[in-house]
Structure 1
Amino acid sequence: MRPSADKINSLIKASELYYLHHLNQNQISDVMHVHRTEISRMLKEAKKLGIVKISVDTTFGSAKNMSKFFERAFDLKTALVVPDDQAGSYKESLDTLGLYADSFLHSLIKSNTTIGLSWGQSLAAVVDKFQQDVFPKNITVIPLIGGPRGSLPAPYHANSIVHRLASKITDAIPYSLDTPALIKSKELKDELLDNPNVEKVISMWPDLDVAIFGIGSRESSGNKSWQQFYKETSFASGLGKMAAGDILSQPFTAEGKILKLPEINIIGMSLDQLRKIDRRIGIAAGKQKAGGILGALRSGLVTDLITTYSTALEIKSISQM
């Protein structure tokens, strides 16, 4: 059973009172109005979940305040700013991101929900931490973009992420988009779009209820996954010259202006189509992503953001420069 956000908050509070403020379990019981025997179990669970390591992660309160700041500053429905160890590895940050994102994503999936997913390491990490559960009926999961031309690791493909998420939902149907994302010519793109399977997926995009996607950044172009996805395309040079970041392989400036790169042919949902979806959840972490995330927030393409506290600090800093 996945822990809810309220449950995680309670575990953090109990851990802080015990390890940082040195209250005994009887005192914590009085403060939290929880039976004493429950406190011991909560402390053990906090260790198991990684909230308590060598020390208690005390950034939660700051992260909660940061969430409120982002919601106000960028008119977001939800900003889920996740406490993280700023000295930890990128993988550790993504694992923590997935743990916190789980409860939030479950809350969005109702009966007859159609979910669209992009590609990338951050999104893959969140889906991998997603806990299987009994869900409402008739869930549809579809890719928002085609696959890479380079040798991007298979777990980061949109089709792969779609099928992994669908496998964790009791009544879900996954679809695949069996075409490259970036096409060499308009003629080849038109030919691929004539494929009935491709037509089927694209026809479902206007009916999406939730879109979940990663956010690329110019500063992360040294990332191997990023390089493999855009291998042998002109996208990398275009992004490097003009843009701060990209969503669904479509770039925008640091001010949030969408850029049109006419020489690039993409089989993927357009940003104009994306903007019409009610819930548009951007997931990204890492200080190198801060510029791209800020541009995405300013573009109005993101209704909900999931990121780490250290990333949020960097975004806030550069937004005030």
Structure 2
Amino acid sequence: MSSRRTKQQDTLRAAQMYYLQDQTMDAIARELSTSRSTVSRLLAAARETGLVQIQIKTPSDRAPELERVIRTRHQVDVHVVPVSDMLNEVEVLERVSMQAARTIGPLVDSNAVIGVAWGSTVSTVSRHLTSKTTHGSTIVQLNGAGNTQTSGITYASEIIRRFGTAYGAKVEQFPVPAFFDHAETKNMMWRERSVRRILDLQERMTIAIFGVGSMDAEIPSHVYSGGYLDATDLDSLEASGVAGDVATVFFRSDGTDGGIVLNDRSSGPSLENLRKVRRRICVVSGRRKIRGLRGALAAGLATDLILDETTARELVEQDSHSSDPIFGLLQGLDGL
């Protein structure tokens, strides 16, 4: 048996004894024939890798109720990250990204094909990933990152490199533009065998990880701030009623994407193809992304949602104004 496997077993055993059986660290050390300091490190590893997740519940904690309502309304597994109103957007993003990284880890198994969309939120998530040993897994870039100002390779590759390093996975970049100048060029490029190889890999994804892009966010989404869209593109998106994007594919608040011409030039996966992925993890931070979030949920793009408490409250409040009588009851909930 390898030393790595032994450490994993000891970590699990120590966590079970400490958190489920109320054993002291001295007692655990004796049973595992090790030192108290080693037990302390094992327990720390259990928390860092997400094997143990600690939640503090208070009488005023609305997160569980928010999770219940969002789960029922939108049919997603949801994690609401409690945050103080005193935090700024950058601090909130850090808190949400830490929770997202800990949530993603246990979902990643060996032989997985994990699609990662670059962006401000996913970039922050990638910096908080903790190591987990997998075998035969692949990280694949979901959309190209090049534009007229940069190849985008450095930005996007750093994000997927962090995922690859964290999970011991092979990394596959997608070195094409985020948006082609002409849809015909994209269609021709998609016939090339080197590009087809990446597209075929994307079609075998078992997990997709992405944020929601929004023009209105306080922390600008990279697709809107990184020189990818010119004034004509932005005017076209506004005229089409676009609320947000996932992997540089745009949609409206009601989840529709028909007639959005920029999507014909986008290198990201179609919404239809994205919905075929078994596990789709959406990470959202900031209430000004609410239109994009609602559009993504209406389009059925997420199976798992991780978001901050303020945005979750806003989502539930907007839901409560719908004609659905179940959610009309929420108007009477104090603090929602």
The TM tier, using the shorter chain, reads 0.7 to 0.9
- CA distance in 2 between counterparts of 1:91 and 1:156 reads 22
Q: Give 1:271 shift.
A: 0.8
Larger deviation: 111-120 or 249-258? 249-258
- CA distance in 2 between counterparts of 1:83 and 1:277 reads 29
Is the Cα–Cα contact under 8 Å of residues 115 and 141 in structure 1 kept in the other structure? Answer: yes
In the alignment, which residue of structure 2 is the partner of 1:282? 282
In the alignment, which residue of structure 2 is the partner of 1:211? 208
Distance 1:224 1:204, change over 3 A: closer
Q: Deviations over 1:131-174 (max 9, x none)?
A: 11323x1111001111141658969944331121101123x100
Q: Deviations over 1:217-237 (max 9, x none)?
A: 342398273232533374422
Is the Cα–Cα contact under 8 Å of residues 253 and 295 in structure 2 kept in the other structure? Answer: yes
Larger deviation: 284-293 or 97-106? 97-106
Q: Give 1:275 shift.
A: 0.8
Larger deviation: 191-200 or 64-73? 191-200
Q: Secondary structure at the match of 2:250?
A: strand
Q: Secondary structure at the match of 1:244?
A: strand
Is structure 2 residue 97 aligned with structure 1 residue 98? Answer: yes
Is the Cα–Cα contact under 8 Å of residues 63 and 83 in structure 1 kept in the other structure? Answer: yes
Letter in 2 for 1:147: A
In the alignment, which residue of structure 2 is the partner of 1:247? 246
Letter in 2 for 1:307: L
Is the Cα–Cα contact under 8 Å of residues 214 and 243 in structure 2 kept in the other structure? Answer: yes
Is the Cα–Cα contact under 8 Å of residues 230 and 236 in structure 1 kept in the other structure? Answer: no
Is the Cα–Cα contact under 8 Å of residues 283 and 307 in structure 2 kept in the other structure? Answer: yes
In the alignment, which residue of structure 2 is the partner of 1:52? none
Letter in 1 for 2:158: S
Letter in 2 for 1:268: G
- CA distance in 1 between counterparts of 2:124 and 2:318 reads 26
Alignment of 1:126-275 (within 5 A): 126-135=125-134, 137-149=135-147, 157-170=155-168, 172-220=169-217, 223=220, 225=222, 226-232=224-230, 234-241=232-239, 242-262=241-261, 264-275=264-275
In the alignment, which residue of structure 2 is the partner of 1:69? 69
In the alignment, which residue of structure 2 is the partner of 1:18? none
- CA distance in 2 between counterparts of 1:281 and 1:94 reads 16
- CA distance in 1 between counterparts of 2:25 and 2:132 reads 28
- CA distance in 2 between counterparts of 1:255 and 1:315 reads 14
- CA distance in 1 between counterparts of 2:116 and 2:256 reads 23
Q: Secondary structure at the match of 1:159?
A: helix
Alignment of 1:103-122 (within 5 A): 103-122=102-121
Alignment of 1:295-306 (within 5 A): 295-306=295-306
Distance 1:35 1:222, change over 3 A: closer
- CA distance in 2 between counterparts of 1:203 and 1:35 reads 50
Distance 1:275 1:244, change over 3 A: same
TM-score (norm 1): 0.76
Letter in 2 for 1:168: A
- CA distance in 1 between counterparts of 2:178 and 2:279 reads 23
Q: Secondary structure at the match of 1:129?
A: coil
Distance 1:161 1:233, change over 3 A: farther
- CA distance in 2 between counterparts of 1:145 and 1:60 reads 41
- How high is the sequence identity, in percent, across the aligned residues? 23
Aligned length: 281
Distance 1:187 1:154, change over 3 A: closer
Distance 1:176 1:155, change over 3 A: closer
- RMSD of aligned Cα (Å): 3.4
Gaps of 5+ in 1: 12-31, 50-55
Is the Cα–Cα contact under 8 Å of residues 243 and 259 in structure 1 kept in the other structure? Answer: no
Is structure 2 residue 80 aligned with structure 1 residue 81? Answer: yes
- CA distance in 2 between counterparts of 1:320 and 1:153 reads 44
In the alignment, which residue of structure 2 is the partner of 1:309? 309
Is the Cα–Cα contact under 8 Å of residues 148 and 157 in structure 1 kept in the other structure? Answer: no
Q: Secondary structure at the match of 1:138?
A: coil
Letter in 1 for 2:160: V
Distance 1:60 1:71, change over 3 A: farther
Q: Secondary structure at the match of 1:216?
A: coil
Is the Cα–Cα contact under 8 Å of residues 282 and 306 in structure 2 kept in the other structure? Answer: yes
Q: Secondary structure at the match of 2:307?
A: strand
